[in-house]
Amino acid sequence: MNGPRTAGQAPPAAAPMSAGHAPPAAAPTAAGHTTPAAAPTAAGHTNPAAASRGAGQAPPAAAPTAARDRPPPEARRSLGAVVKSGATAVFPRDPLLRNGHLLAISSLVSAALGSVFWVLATHWYDDEVVGLSYSALSMTLLLASIGQLNLSDFLVRFVPSAGHHTRRLILLCYGVSAVVSALVAMGFLLLVPVVAPGLGFLLTPVTAACFVAATAGYAVFVMQDGALTAVRRPGWVVGENVIFACVKIGLLGVGAALALFSGILLSWVGALAVSLVIANFVLLRRAVPEHVRVSTEAKRPDRALRYAAADYFGSLFRMAAYTLVPLIVLDNLGAEQSAYFSLAWIVGYVLYLVARNVGSSLVVEAVGSPERLVEHAVRMLRHTGLLLGAGIVLVAVLAPQILSFFGPEYAEHGTTLLRLLALSALPNIVVSLAIDVWRARRRLRWAVGVQIVMCVLVLGLTKLLLPTLGITGAGVAWLVTMCLLATPLLIWRSRWLTTGSRRSS
């Protein structure tokens, strides 16, 4: 081994190279033996110059340390390449399953960090502030869902084949959705004194502006998820949700420190602004140009308005089934039982959301390879069934422990409900998959019809069963509805899971 050097002293001519490289010719090894004359280079090949020298000849003067220690070009990899290679090693190589996994992870991350946000809010703010802010933000999400016109799913369906029209299509959808959502929010504010007097605090100028901005911003936030999915960047769907949640939690603490009454609402607005800027920089400056470069076609969506209108009409019924059941519980059983239902529904709905997001990956791949739609759908059905099946079993077994996180009374009253909701998520996989297949083929009459039946059955059965079964009746309503829809879809799967190409929007 070489003796110690003083600081700044140049290394001797035959000093060993940086870690991972073989020593030069005739350099002694740790065991005292001499290495072969032909020393391997960094790439693993024999150095001709070293091979031509005798074993006893001195090597040439060493190159400067910086140049000698610099790794070869192929060894210098960007952080993005390292992350991408790591993700490739963890997730399946098949884009259908890999993108589906990432979208499922996005749903889980959003749900987990959202729970952390509200737990911290209950510790840092008064109960009254938390209750009013939760109601205001729930209305923001509802109005944004109405105002964004389901254009997120529209982008998932048409951006994969848009080619050089991609940027214009995305920006057009952004503008329409933001304007409509802002108008819907302003219309709601005008009706607050009549329909929701408890939200009167929204009528102050600053808070009203934040409410409108949050509604319009969240509509664009939802659509950028669809755009990122469509250009096959689902990893950034996870990233933007993490950014949104972390900034939101940080601003929540700032609002609490400043004792701001609207701190919770302001934290949402600030986090939306940050996440929108970062995510759309990646989308419009990097992802879209790359998508255009590799695209083999550039189609303007034909009959786009008819498709968007029909898809939006069907989505309204699905959204009504999700959002109106809590109101029915509140009207029939009171605020306390409504609280027990809401927490169980928040947990159970994650399983529904995973199935829906995974289906977006199917639509994207089907647009690029319509002839493989049946193959992709069968694989997605099998894979999602295994993936969500494990989650359903886990939720059903750990339902008391999950709900006890919010308090022992939630576990006492909501365990059976959560188990029923988890079980209903299994047949929902079939229902959700069928809707996505029809959307990919533009057979929207069937998709709209199934969503209408879902809404009618869920709301009707919930109203019928609540007086006798309590909040458990809502869980029975969801399980029965999903089974009634999934059973005929499985029996007559050849009617919708076929290679036919007829389109009807």
CB contact at 8 A, 25 and 50: yes
CB contact at 8 A, 184 and 215: yes
The listed range with the strongest mean pLDDT (68-72, 191-195, 269-273, 495-499) is 269-273
What's the full length of the chain, in residues? 505
Mean pLDDT of 487-492: 92
Nearest to 360 by CA among 131, 99, 80, 40: 99
Whether 109 shows a pLDDT value over 80: the answer reads yes
Mean pLDDT of 114-127: 82
Mean pLDDT of 296-303: 69
Whether 50 shows a pLDDT value over 60: the answer reads no
H or E element at residue 174 = helix 166-195
Whole-number Cα distances in Å, 243 to 254, 360, 396, 486: 17, 22, 31, 37
Q: How far is CA 158 from the centre of its chain?
A: 19
Residues 158, 160, 166: CA angle, nearest 5 degrees: 75
Percent of the chain with pLDDT over 90: 30
Which pLDDT value is given to residue 69? 47
CA 414/CA 337 separation, integer angstroms: 9
Mean pLDDT of 121-137: 79
CA 319/CA 324 separation, integer angstroms: 8
CA 275/CA 244 separation, integer angstroms: 5
Whether 368 shows a pLDDT value over 60: the answer reads yes
Rg for the chain, CA atoms, rounded: 29
Whether 293 shows a pLDDT value over 70: the answer reads yes
Structure tokens at 343: 């927490």
**126-135, 287-296, 369-378, 388-397: which range is least confident on average?**
126-135
Return the higher-pLDDT residue of 138 and 469. 469
Which pLDDT value is given to residue 393? 93
Mean pLDDT of 284-289: 92
Which pLDDT value is given to residue 256? 86
pLDDT per residue over 334-364, tens digit each?
A: 877 887 888 888 889 889 988 888 888 788 8
Which pLDDT value is given to residue 301? 66
Return the higher-pLDDT residue of 26 and 234. 234
Which pLDDT value is given to residue 459? 94
pTM of the predicted protein model: 0.67
Whether 12 shows a pLDDT value over 80: the answer reads no
The listed range with the strongest mean pLDDT (249-258, 318-327, 379-388) is 249-258
The listed range with the strongest mean pLDDT (296-310, 398-412, 414-428) is 414-428
pLDDT per residue over 158-210, tens digit each?
A: 888 888 889 999 999 999 999 999 999 999 999 988 877 878 888 888 888 88
Whether 135 shows a pLDDT value over 80: the answer reads no
Produce one character per residue of 21-35: b if its CB has 16 or more CB atoms within 10 Å, e if not. Answer: bbbbbbbeeeeeeeb
Whether 35 shows a pLDDT value over 60: the answer reads no
